[in-house]
């Protein structure tokens, strides 16, 4: 296969109004249902000015449509979503992540589960572009978070062909399929930057985790780690999540800064949080077996007797911890779709 794609088609629309663009796009099966910014040559070039390399280079091929993702197509979808040009390296890196085989985009897009890729932006570019990692990080109200998350979805719709009922069989969808982007709150984190736990030591990085909407965990009263994390564990321990029968499923545990500070003040590291939750988010093995006749477990899990406790995921490393959010006494978990592994990549243009 060639490593370049042709320049995308250009066509005329009746006038420069938002209505004309929305109608022209909708009539071709494009868009996410919301108003769009017209991807004119001038706007697309302004986006491309913030990347390096051949605009027609194929960054990845996105299933199930097998759309060839190029920098120019990233730029077109970024314009449509309303992005500022400075975020282009984040989107280019996100596309590379979506194309990684372990992320299993083909499955993520095709499943009846509501899964959406959550994009987490780390480091210098998050700060430079004004991504929100603090109060209201998951939205609404911040342009970088809102439009970058939307651009990812538009690329999944347009390039990957993940249209509901077509390439996307998600039974109910979920709100995070419109936009699902947040930044790690490193300034409020007691621990090192999350990408370092994945072997990435770059000034800026992105993480993609394909999961459910965030689930809230609230604890207004505890001054020790255990009571906070016991509540997190009860949010994780659910037979309604794919993590229950699929042992490789990850949990993203997004601790609020105040919960994280309480946990760290007791001398706990990020690894302690994962190990404690691995220990505490459990059910008797017999209850798992009664609930799921088909199980994608690690072999050792089948050896555990019915009356013994089994964890919700097969390895403590599958419980991934970072700090997100602002003042308050909440944390969040994002359970996995299951047959997918999160990726963390350096941001490169």
Partner 1 sequence: MSISVYAPDGEVGPEPAALTAGPRVLTGLRIGVLDNGKPNAGLLLARVGEQLAARTGAVVALVTEKGPGANAATPCTEAVFERLRTECDVVLTGSADCGSCTSWSVHDAIQLERSGIPTVVATTTHFVELTRRVAAGFGVPEARVVVFPHPLGGTDDDTIIAWADAAVDEVVALLTRSA
Residue (191 or 337) nearer to partner 1, CB: 337
- For residue 159, the minimal CB distance to partner 1 (Å) is 6
| Residue 220: Cβ within 10 Å count | 8
Residue (25 or 276) nearer to partner 1, CB: 25
Phi and psi torsions of 266, nearest 5°: -85, 5
Residue (22 or 261) nearer to partner 1, CB: 22
Residue (25 or 252) nearer to partner 1, CB: 25
Residue (8 or 190) nearer to partner 1, CB: 8
- For residue 101, the minimal CB distance to partner 1 (Å) is 4
- For residue 272, the minimal CB distance to partner 1 (Å) is 23
- For residue 262, the minimal CB distance to partner 1 (Å) is 34
- For residue 83, the minimal CB distance to partner 1 (Å) is 13
- For residue 68, the minimal CB distance to partner 1 (Å) is 5
- For residue 66, the minimal CB distance to partner 1 (Å) is 5
* 3-class DSSP assignment, residue 336: strand
How is residue 201 written in tokens? 């030591």
Query: Which among 275, 269, 257 has a CA at the least distance from the CA of 330?
Result: 257
Residue (76 or 229) nearer to partner 1, CB: 76
Handedness of CA 237, 242, 244, 246 (dihedral sign): negative
Query: Which among 321, 305, 317 has a CA at the least distance from the CA of 264?
Result: 321
Alpha-carbon Rg for the chain, nearest whole angstrom, is: 21
| Residues binding partner 1 (CB under 8 A) | 1, 3, 5-6, 8-16, 21, 24-25, 28, 30, 38-41, 44, 58, 60-61, 63, 65-70, 73, 76-77, 80, 99-102, 154, 158-159, 341
- For residue 2, the minimal CB distance to partner 1 (Å) is 9
What is the distance between the alpha carbons of residues 36 and 249, in angstroms, rounded to a whole number?
Answer: 35
CB of 152 closer than 8 Å to CB of 62: no
- For residue 65, the minimal CB distance to partner 1 (Å) is 6
Residue (97 or 123) nearer to partner 1, CB: 97
CB of 76 closer than 8 Å to CB of 89: no
Residue (53 or 328) nearer to partner 1, CB: 53
Handedness of CA 193, 248, 100, 28 (dihedral sign): negative
Tokens 């911890």 belong to residue = 321
What is the distance between the alpha carbons of residues 315 and 189, in angstroms, rounded to a whole number?
Answer: 24
Strands, E assignment, 236-281 = 251-255
Residue (163 or 329) nearer to partner 1, CB: 163
Tokens 């505890």 belong to residue = 222
Phi and psi torsions of 256, nearest 5°: -65, 155
| Residue 210: Cβ within 10 Å count | 28
What is the distance between the alpha carbons of residues 170 and 91, in angstroms, rounded to a whole number?
Answer: 24
How is residue 288 written in tokens? 């798992």
């Amino acid at each position: 296969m060639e490593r370049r794609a042709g320049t995308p088609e250009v066509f005329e629309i009746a006038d420069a109004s938002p209505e004309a663009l929305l109608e022209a796009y909708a009539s071709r099966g494009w868009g996410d249902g919301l108003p769009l910014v017209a991807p004119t040559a001038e706007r697309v070039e302004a986006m491309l000015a913030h990347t390096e390399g051949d605009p027609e280079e194929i960054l990845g091929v996105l299933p199930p449509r097998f759309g060839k993702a190029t920098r120019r197509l990233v730029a077109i979808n970024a314009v449509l979503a309303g992005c500022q040009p400075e975020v282009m390296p984040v989107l280019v890196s996100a596309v590379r992540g979506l194309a990684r085989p372990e992320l299993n985009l083909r499955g993520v897009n095709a499943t009846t589960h509501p899964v959406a890729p959550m994009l987490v932006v780390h480091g210098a570019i998050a700060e430079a572009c004004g991504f929100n990692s603090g109060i209201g990080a998951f939205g609404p109200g911040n342009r970088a978070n809102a439009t970058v998350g939307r651009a990812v979805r538009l690329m999944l719709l347009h390039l990957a062909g993940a249209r509901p009922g077509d390439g996307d069989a998600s039974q109910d969808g979920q709100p995070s399929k419109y936009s699902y982007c947040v930044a790690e709150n490193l300034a409020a984190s007691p621990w090192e930057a999350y990408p370092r736990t994945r072997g990435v030591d770059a000034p800026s990085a992105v993480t993609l985790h394909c999961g459910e909407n965030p689930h809230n965990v609230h604890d207004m009263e505890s001054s020790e780690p255990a009571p906070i994390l016991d509540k997190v564990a009860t949010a994780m321990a659910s037979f309604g999540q794919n993590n229950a029968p699929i042992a490789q499923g990850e949990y993203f545990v997004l601790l609020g800064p105040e919960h994280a500070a309480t946990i760290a003040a007791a001398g706990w590291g990020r690894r302690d949080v994962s190990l404690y939750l691995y220990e505490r988010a459990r059910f008797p093995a017999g209850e798992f077996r009664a609930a799921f006749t088909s199980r994608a477990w690690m072999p050792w899990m089948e050896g555990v007797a019915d009356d013994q406790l089994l964890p919700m995921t097969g390895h403590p490393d599958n419980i991934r911890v970072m700090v997100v959010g602002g003042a308050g006494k909440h944390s969040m978990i994002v359970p996995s779709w299951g047959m997918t592994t999160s990726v963390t990549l350096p941001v490169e243009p």
